[in-house]
Chain A
Amino acid sequence: MSKYVPTIGIECHVQLCTKTKLFSEVDNDARGKEPNSCVSPVDYALPGMLPRLNGEAIRFAILAGRAMNCKINPVSRFDRKHYFYPDSPKGYQITQFYQPIIGEGYVELPSGTKIRIEHAHLEGDAGKLTHFDGYSLVDLNRVDTPLIEIVSMPDIHSAKDAHDYCKELWRLMCYAGVTYGDLYNGNMRFDVNTSLAPEGSKELGTRTEVKNLNSFRSVERAVEYEIKRQTKVLESGEKVVQQTLGWSDATGKTTPQRSKEVAADYRYMPEPDLPPIHLSAEFIETESAKLPMMPADYRAQFGKSITEDILEILLDYPTLMKKLGELSVIPAAHTIKLISNLFASVLLAEEKSAEYLNDLPSAGDLAELAEMNEKKELSSTATKEVFLRLFDPQMKGRSAKQIAKELGLIQENDLGALEKIVDAVLAKPETAKAQEDFKAGQEKVLGFLVGQVMKESHGKANPSAVQEILRQKLTK
């Protein structure tokens, strides 16, 4: 057991999915577009251009803040952070250094641990540089895409919690609807500060910062690595060097990033081109009220009807949770249980699941499917089959019942009708030997007989009911 306690603080950048950029009217969604095609004279920093603050970004910031139980500041301002680099056409980034829009709050992890949020602020993203041998290319499409930077308090003490915190942040932002949440494309990026201090010490140790992590797993691995590395450094009697590190998923190691010897001085200054943002209590309230159900709300709602494992899987998919929320108005615990299981084990296992997630069947269809299953009109296999067909674009507009009928999957539960079929099968000469064998005690031939009945019924018979009837008839 290590004698050092790790302390971790995380800064997270979230790209907001507003229609236009933070300070111009240009399309903010540059996915699949030509480099430098989503750039206005304002983003390009022509002389005399002035930023025009996007109201949607303010509304998104309020939602994001409320999703993290944060206070929304009635007055906030923008500041300029200066640095020279080709990804920053203005020569400064417009950010909120002195008075951010989002104040203190907290994020509750699935384990119940609360991580406090220090603040979160709005700022413009930088452009993207691609380096080649001897030259670099600049793409300014990403310039001034709105970002919120969420700064946690150093409340995290394990790699697992660091992972869970990042994942929970991702969920909160997706549920709030403020980001596409595409981690692979950098919609959320994490900077992780890790330090070690001897157990019982009140002071924090020297920290290192691992920059630009874009998956929860990398966060977890990087923190694990840093804890091990720093422990070794401290145990050998040396000091941890405060530095910025990069992480490689391939090598599983952190490495110091090239940095200038002198610490950067960003020469912060109030942004004179943008007046302070004044938000009235009414405006904040009206916008906050638009916050949809959050993961914590769903945990409270479904904690009893859905097993924790399945619930935590499904919580990664806001659309599925929303659908379950709609289903919950139908008072049948069976429905929630069945549909959540189908979501987790059938839908998410499907190749096309990503496609399906954006266009779910209606709650009514899902409820009908659950009802048919409960009434044993559909076998469990048939239930899965109909469930998947509900997502099929070719089946659009058809109810679960219609699909089941068309596919001939409805089970025959009418015992009178079943008995007739059974009698017909037993009257056939080719089943005579099997009947003999069963009566002689060979249990396994019952399967053959059930199969024959199923065949006769064209698969519509309920097999367990058939088995029951066969037993009765043959043991008489």
Chain B
Amino acid sequence: MKTANKTVTAERLVRDALEKAEHFREYNIFTYLDKTGAIQKAREIDARIARGEKVGRLAGVPYALKDNFLSPEGETTASAHILEGFTSPVTATVVERLEAEGAIMIGRTNLDAFAHGSSTENSYYGPTLNAYDTERVAGGSSGGSAVAVALDIVEFATGTDTGGSIRQPASFNGVYGLKPTYGCNSRYGVVAMASSTDCIGFFTKTPEDMDLLMSISSGQDPKDMTTLPDYYSISAAEICSSKGVRSAAAREVAPAARGRRPEETSEERTGSFFRDDDGSATSVDGPAGRAPRGAYLDAEMEKIRVGVIKDFDNESVDNEIRKALKAKCELLESKGYEIVELEMPALKYALAAYYIIVPAEVASNLSRYDGVRYGFRSDKSDDLDGLYENTRNEGFMPENKRRIMIGNFVLSSGFYDAYFLKAAKARTLIVKAYEEAFQKVDYILTPVSPSPAFKLGEKVNDPIAMYLEDVMSVSLNLAGVPGLAIPAGMTKAGLPIGLQLVGPRRSDKQLIEFSKELQ
């Protein structure tokens, strides 16, 4: 990633990015471009460089911000009419961390309103076009961010992934897209879709860039109680020593650990459960938690095993994608890795469970948009109920309304046990399925979606077909495990193919490292 220095100024980098953004205007990538602000910030960094001051690891790097991240620049709309006119007084934790290292946001990117969708066609501002074929969708919901990186406008872009919203557009546009372990990056200041599955991640052109961004953005945040204690940049050896195990000894027992990786306790899933008024959070876990199994491994001592999920190898998946997966498996085998076929029957419940749990949380999280305090307010009403009804009716997109209705239905008294509770049980099965799988293998490699980028308008009127786009991505969100979408060649028609590399919880860094073997 190019950073500013004495010869290449931050202003040059930012101006280049802004020019490219203008150049690709027809793709409808940005909902807002912060020209003045970005150049101003760049000049400040250049001044610091000129004075010989220390600058951050992302000094002058232009980036694009998905429009569901709060920051004071421009309006934060989540591409939804109902947030029109909303300027945020607060800044998302991840944005703060990136900017502290000198990254410069040049604009906000388009998404499916409130991140509901898999094509960016549900945006109030119209669809974003695919970087490789303007008649096709960008994927979604983080379509704008994926295309901004794919067209090389910016070095990286932020995204949110609730069921595939980073990985699918990354694969549709041939870039890297990471959905980290749930709780790795803070959700504070990001417009919530579904709190228990929302993950904050990035689009990059290389695994190295992804690693750098994660080392900056990750880590416990007192403003988000679901963040995990810092673990991302802590090496396996450090984890071992912090647990009172000498790393040499850990190496010796490592090969046998695969079958005996103890289950994570519920306390370990979260870092803190309440705050104290001195600003500290009460931690119930050690500094880093448990190292993923892969972290202990020494390739010389035992082969790394990569699983492929048998259940996903069927007619409903595009032939070219299946071939790409096969080719990557052969590549891995040629490098001495072992490919293991996995059966994960519980995953067949993933899509159904996802489309119950997520709409329930969506309906709840969208309750705050009532036209009373901020954003859009309908002027057609003369009483309170009318204000609510008209504001929400005019302010939400059809897909938002569909999910609100499903969500409220499954939470209704009399239906809760039959739907929400049952879906929660299915989720537990899926968590267990991944835990068992990672007793047998170190990583799993699967397609991201059943097909490459589809035509604009092709699935807009068929919600079920659109939901099926997520069939191979949502189980990761339900299980909280990380997944990295990696470019894996092109179709004959010239569309990018993406695969996702999946690892156990907290294996984000190892996952990114291992993805280099697939290049």
Interface residues of A (CB under 8 A from B): 19-20, 25, 41, 44-58, 80, 82, 84, 86, 89-92, 138, 265, 267-269, 272-278
Q: How far is the CB of B194 from chain A (nearest CB, A)?
A: 8
CB neighbours of B266 from chain A (8 A) = 276, 278
Interface string of B347-383 (1 = CB under 8 A from A): 0000000000000110110111110111000000000
Asked if B361 and A269 make an inter-chain contact with CB atoms under 8 angstroms apart, the answer reads: yes
Cα(A277)–Cα(B225), bound, Å: 11
A-B contact pairs, 8 of them (CB 8 A): A19-B277, A54-B274, A57-B274, A58-B274, A89-B372, A269-B360, A272-B194, A275-B273
B518 within 8 A of A: no
CB neighbours of A275 from chain B (8 A) = 225-226, 269-270, 272-273
Q: How far is the CB of A269 from chain B (nearest CB, A)?
A: 5
Asked if A47 and B78 make an inter-chain contact with CB atoms under 8 angstroms apart, the answer reads: yes
B396-425 interface with A by 8 A CB criterion: 408, 411-413, 416, 420
CB neighbours of A48 from chain B (8 A) = 68-70, 90, 92, 187-192
Given A46-B70, A47-B78, A48-B187, A55 and B367 contact (CB-CB distance below 8 Å): no
Q: Which residue of A lies closest to B222 (CB)?
A: A52
Q: How far is the CB of B273 from chain A (nearest CB, A)?
A: 5
B439 within 8 A of A: no
Given A54-B275, A273-B225, A47 and B76 contact (CB-CB distance below 8 Å): yes
CB neighbours of B86 from chain A (8 A) = 47
Asked if A55 and B192 make an inter-chain contact with CB atoms under 8 angstroms apart, the answer reads: no
CB neighbours of B373 from chain A (8 A) = 44-45, 89
Cα(A205)–Cα(B360), bound, Å: 37
CB neighbours of B78 from chain A (8 A) = 47
CB neighbours of B188 from chain A (8 A) = 48-50
B42 within 8 A of A: no
B224 within 8 A of A: yes
A86: contacting residue among B92, B226, B384, B412, CB under 8 A: B384
CB neighbours of A273 from chain B (8 A) = 195, 225-226
Asked if B275 and A46 make an inter-chain contact with CB atoms under 8 angstroms apart, the answer reads: no
Cα(A53)–Cα(B270), bound, Å: 14
Asked if A54 and B277 make an inter-chain contact with CB atoms under 8 angstroms apart, the answer reads: yes
Asked if A82 and B364 make an inter-chain contact with CB atoms under 8 angstroms apart, the answer reads: yes
CB neighbours of B327 from chain A (8 A) = none
Cα(A337)–Cα(B408), bound, Å: 64
Q: How far is the CB of A25 from chain B (nearest CB, A)?
A: 7
Asked if A46 and B374 make an inter-chain contact with CB atoms under 8 angstroms apart, the answer reads: yes
CB neighbours of A268 from chain B (8 A) = 411, 416
Given A47-B86, A52-B222, A276 and B408 contact (CB-CB distance below 8 Å): no
Asked if B226 and A82 make an inter-chain contact with CB atoms under 8 angstroms apart, the answer reads: no
Given A47-B83, A91-B370, A269-B360, A55 and B275 contact (CB-CB distance below 8 Å): yes
CB neighbours of B277 from chain A (8 A) = 19-20, 25, 54-56
Asked if A265 and B420 make an inter-chain contact with CB atoms under 8 angstroms apart, the answer reads: no
Q: How far is the CB of B455 from chain A (nearest CB, A)?
A: 32
B225: contacting residue among A52, A80, A267, CB under 8 A: A52
CB neighbours of B245 from chain A (8 A) = none
Asked if A52 and B420 make an inter-chain contact with CB atoms under 8 angstroms apart, the answer reads: no
Given A45-B373, A48-B187, A48-B188, A265 and B367 contact (CB-CB distance below 8 Å): no
CB neighbours of A50 from chain B (8 A) = 187-188, 223-226
Q: How far is the CB of A192 from chain B (nearest CB, A)?
A: 25
Given A41-B89, A50-B188, A269-B411, A278 and B273 contact (CB-CB distance below 8 Å): yes
Q: Which residue of B lies closest to A275 (CB)?
A: B270
Asked if B90 and A46 make an inter-chain contact with CB atoms under 8 angstroms apart, the answer reads: yes
The 7 A-B pairs at the shortest CB distance, nearest first, are namely A91-B367, A272-B195, A267-B411, A275-B270, A272-B196, A53-B274, A55-B274
Cα(A80)–Cα(B365), bound, Å: 10
B88 within 8 A of A: yes
Given A55-B282, A89-B368, A267-B408, A276 and B273 contact (CB-CB distance below 8 Å): yes
Asked if A84 and B222 make an inter-chain contact with CB atoms under 8 angstroms apart, the answer reads: no
B468 within 8 A of A: no
B388 within 8 A of A: yes
Asked if A84 and B411 make an inter-chain contact with CB atoms under 8 angstroms apart, the answer reads: no
B26 within 8 A of A: no
B284 within 8 A of A: yes
Cα(A48)–Cα(B195), bound, Å: 10
Q: How far is the CB of B357 from chain A (nearest CB, A)?
A: 9
CB neighbours of B76 from chain A (8 A) = 47
CB neighbours of B341 from chain A (8 A) = none
Asked if B225 and A269 make an inter-chain contact with CB atoms under 8 angstroms apart, the answer reads: no
Q: How far is the CB of A90 from chain B (nearest CB, A)?
A: 5
CB neighbours of A51 from chain B (8 A) = 225
B226-284 interface with A by 8 A CB criterion: 226, 266-267, 269-270, 272-277, 279, 282, 284
In the complex, besides A48-B69, A267-B363, A274-B225, 10 extra interface pairs with C-beta distance below 8 angstroms are: A41-B89, A45-B373, A46-B90, A47-B369, A53-B225, A55-B276, A56-B277, A92-B364, A267-B416, A277-B274
Q: Which residue of B lies closest to A19 (CB)?
A: B277
CB neighbours of A41 from chain B (8 A) = 89-90
Q: Which residue of A lies closest to B90 (CB)?
A: A41
Residue in A19, A25, A57, A267 whose Cβ sees the most chain B Cβ within 10 Å: A267
CB neighbours of A52 from chain B (8 A) = 222-223, 225, 274-275
Given A47-B191, A48-B190, A269 and B274 contact (CB-CB distance below 8 Å): no
Cα(A265)–Cα(B414), bound, Å: 10
CB neighbours of B273 from chain A (8 A) = 53, 274-278
CB neighbours of B413 from chain A (8 A) = 265, 267
Cα(A269)–Cα(B187), bound, Å: 20
Q: Which residue of A lies closest to B388 (CB)?
A: A84
Cα(A268)–Cα(B416), bound, Å: 9
Asked if A91 and B364 make an inter-chain contact with CB atoms under 8 angstroms apart, the answer reads: yes
CB neighbours of A276 from chain B (8 A) = 266, 273
Q: How far is the CB of A48 from chain B (nearest CB, A)?
A: 5
Cα(A20)–Cα(B190), bound, Å: 24
Cα(A198)–Cα(B366), bound, Å: 49
Q: How far is the CB of B293 from chain A (nearest CB, A)?
A: 24
Asked if A47 and B361 make an inter-chain contact with CB atoms under 8 angstroms apart, the answer reads: no
Cα(A82)–Cα(B412), bound, Å: 10
Cα(A272)–Cα(B267), bound, Å: 15
CB neighbours of A89 from chain B (8 A) = 368, 372-373
Q: How far is the CB of B115 from chain A (nearest CB, A)?
A: 12
Cα(A58)–Cα(B282), bound, Å: 12
Q: Which residue of B lies closest to A136 (CB)?
A: B384
Residue in A53, A56, A57, A268 whose Cβ sees the most chain B Cβ within 10 Å: A53
Asked if B384 and A53 make an inter-chain contact with CB atoms under 8 angstroms apart, the answer reads: no
Cα(A86)–Cα(B371), bound, Å: 10
Asked if A84 and B276 make an inter-chain contact with CB atoms under 8 angstroms apart, the answer reads: no
Cα(A375)–Cα(B175), bound, Å: 95
Q: How far is the CB of B279 from chain A (nearest CB, A)?
A: 8
Cα(A271)–Cα(B180), bound, Å: 22
CB neighbours of B90 from chain A (8 A) = 41, 46, 48-49
Q: How far is the CB of B295 from chain A (nearest CB, A)?
A: 24
Q: How far is the CB of A89 from chain B (nearest CB, A)?
A: 6
Asked if A92 and B367 make an inter-chain contact with CB atoms under 8 angstroms apart, the answer reads: yes
Q: Which residue of A lies closest to B70 (CB)?
A: A48
CB neighbours of A49 from chain B (8 A) = 90, 188-189
CB neighbours of B272 from chain A (8 A) = 275
CB neighbours of B276 from chain A (8 A) = 55-56
CB neighbours of B194 from chain A (8 A) = 272
Residue in A44, A51, A55 whose Cβ sees the most chain B Cβ within 10 Å: A55
Cα(A49)–Cα(B88), bound, Å: 11
CB neighbours of B364 from chain A (8 A) = 80, 82, 91-92, 267, 269
Asked if B226 and A90 make an inter-chain contact with CB atoms under 8 angstroms apart, the answer reads: no
Q: Which residue of A lies closest to B88 (CB)?
A: A46
Q: How far is the CB of B275 from chain A (nearest CB, A)?
A: 5
Cα(A328)–Cα(B194), bound, Å: 59
Asked if A47 and B225 make an inter-chain contact with CB atoms under 8 angstroms apart, the answer reads: no
Asked if A84 and B370 make an inter-chain contact with CB atoms under 8 angstroms apart, the answer reads: yes
Interface string of B169-195 (1 = CB under 8 A from A): 000000000000000000111111011
Q: Which residue of B lies closest to A44 (CB)?
A: B373
